[in-house]
Amino acid sequence: MVAIPYLFNEIERIFRNTPLYAITLEAFLLLSVIWLLLHKRNGRKHFTKEEEEELIANYEPEPLVPHTDPNHPLLHVRLVQSKVGKRVVVNGYDCLNLASHNYLGLLEDEEILEDACKSLRKYGVGSCGPRGFYGTMDVHLDLEDRLAKFMRMEEAVVYSYGFSTVASAIPAYSKRGDIIFVDAAVNFAIQKGLDASRSTIYFYKHNDMADLERLLMQQEQKDRKNPNKAAKTRRFLVAEGIYMNTGQLCPLRELVKLRAKYKLRLFLDESISFGVLGKTGRGIAEHFDVDLIEVDLISAGMEWAMGSIGGFCVGSHFIVEHQRLSGVGYCFSASLPPMLAQAAISALNRFEKDPQIFAELQETSRLLHQIFSNFSKLTIGGHPLSPVKHLYLNVTWEQIDEEHKKLIEISDKCIARGIAVIEACYLYNIEKQPVRPSLRVTANRLLTLADINDAFEVIEDVTKELLN
């Protein structure tokens, strides 16, 4: 009996010392629990046995795969039936290859092939592990060392897939709250890197430096209003050396000036320009004679001019080492197969041994651009030095789908007549900016004047036939 008054006194003391908001919250939670326990759930309708059986009999589940248009282009892929080189067999037709990104013709280099085969016999097919988990082999370290020395940078890091290189590099540095200024025509890999960064993105008009500076000035005004936030916000500028979607060169000198003026970090994707521009193939910085110290990070794919697989980033020790811990494609992807790493090393050997191959490619690109500028039904897009050209229909169609279908028809006809050209493929519903359909043509160092003239005649005849 003595304990009961003591219990009430203790309860009174607790209520007296407890803040009012805590008592209110606890009372609300208690009443909510009581209501949930006592509330009768009458919303569910009760069916009789006959009604349940009828519902089950009439039930039609949703299909696991939605209806697919039988004319969808992915259901009608073109089949390559030979080794890819200057010539290729597509759907049974032996064609001059103007579709593959084999700019220097290294896919047909016998010395590189033999080096890759020796590596295959030594290391096997794959590494079976990410770089940080027993996937690093001596050939990977040799490749990174060679790339850093070739690009005259402190260090390099190699990725196993070209797409994941820049898509991993961007979010490794730029995070939520940071700002990225980016050209509207950047490739899809860069776009995915922008998404992964969760940063604030500002697109400027393609190669329009006035529009870029307009955006930078607007941001500068915002920073003056909130200097504390501005002090914590990092700003990045992202561009391509040669744009995959247009074939144009970026105005690197102007970008570097704006970088210095507005204190930006410049990221440059040289997937196409590496091994293409400059006297020694070092890319657009060499082409414009820009000091590499002005570029904070350079990324490039090894799937284009080098004729291998994978990609790399070069920069300072800090830039590279950070990616080894934060680059998603580096940390969580199986490392590059050793034979492909060796093929990339052998390609670098060829770069250093025969630098005239870059001048030969540039001359072929100029020649192809000059001749293909004479189409009557098509307009060529791209820089004369770019190995990637885009052929657009002279008349813009109202429906993108119809224009794309017509380009597929032109491509199929050209392949049937021995010229492999393809329509540029985009994910139109996902692309950040509108992209006009086109035929994408690539130059190859091994093309002759006769080859280019033959290709011109076939494409001209096919377009006249289908566009009249």
**pTM reported for the whole predicted model:** 0.84
CB-count exposure of residue 244 (10 Å: 0-12, 13-18, 19+)? buried
**What does the CA dihedral 31, 37, 40, 46 come to, rounded to 10 degrees?**
150
Within its chain, how far is the Cα of 386 from the centroid? Answer: 19
Whole-number Å distance between alpha carbons of 207 and 20? 63
Q: Residue 63: which pLDDT band, with cuts at 50, 70 and 90?
A: confident
Answer yes or no: is pLDDT of 75 > 70.
yes
Q: What is the full DSSP assignment across 265-287?
A: EEEEE-TTTTTTSSTTS--HHHH
pLDDT tens, position by position, 174-223: 999 999 999 999 999 999 999 999 999 999 999 999 999 999 999 999 99
Q: Give the count of alpha carbons within 13 A of 453, CB side only.
A: 3
pLDDT for the residue numbered 310 = 96
Lowest-pLDDT choice from 27-36, 148-157, 176-185: 27-36
Whole-number Å distance between alpha carbons of 113 and 340? 10
Name the percent of the chain lying above pLDDT 70. Answer: 97
Q: Give the count of alpha carbons within 13 A of 216, CB side only.
A: 21
Whole-number Å distance between alpha carbons of 116 and 338? 8
* 238 Cβ contact list (under 8 Å, min separation 6): 170, 180, 181, 182, 183, 186, 190, 194, 267, 268, 269
Angle 188-197/162-173 helices, nearest 10 degrees? 30
Average model confidence (pLDDT) for the chain?
Answer: 92
* 113 Cβ contact list (under 8 Å, min separation 6): none
* 235 Cβ contact list (under 8 Å, min separation 6): 178, 179, 180, 181, 219, 262, 263, 264, 265
Name the percent of the chain lying above pLDDT 90. Answer: 74
User: Are the C-beta atoms of 419 and 458 separated by less than 8 Å?
Assistant: yes
- Please compute the mean of the pLDDT values over residues 59-65 and round it to a whole number: 84
Q: Percent helix, strand, coil in the chain (nearest 5)? A: 50, 15, 35
Whole-number Å distance between alpha carbons of 312 and 360? 25
Backbone angles phi, psi at 240, to 5 degrees: -110, 150
Q: Which two tokens stand for residue 400?
A: 């993108």
pLDDT tens, position by position, 3-22: 667 667 777 777 777 788 78
Q: Which two tokens stand for residue 49?
A: 């046995």
The sheet carrying 93-97 orders its strands as 87-90, 93-97, 419-420
Q: What is the full DSSP assignment across 354-396?
A: -THHHHHHHHHHHHHHHHHTT-SSEEEES-TT-SEEEEEESS-
pLDDT for the residue numbered 430 = 87
Q: Residue 103: which pLDDT band, with cuts at 50, 70 and 90?
A: very high
pLDDT for the residue numbered 13 = 76
- Please compute the mean of the pLDDT values over residues 29-39 and round it to a whole number: 83
Angle 252-262/209-225 helices, nearest 10 degrees? 10
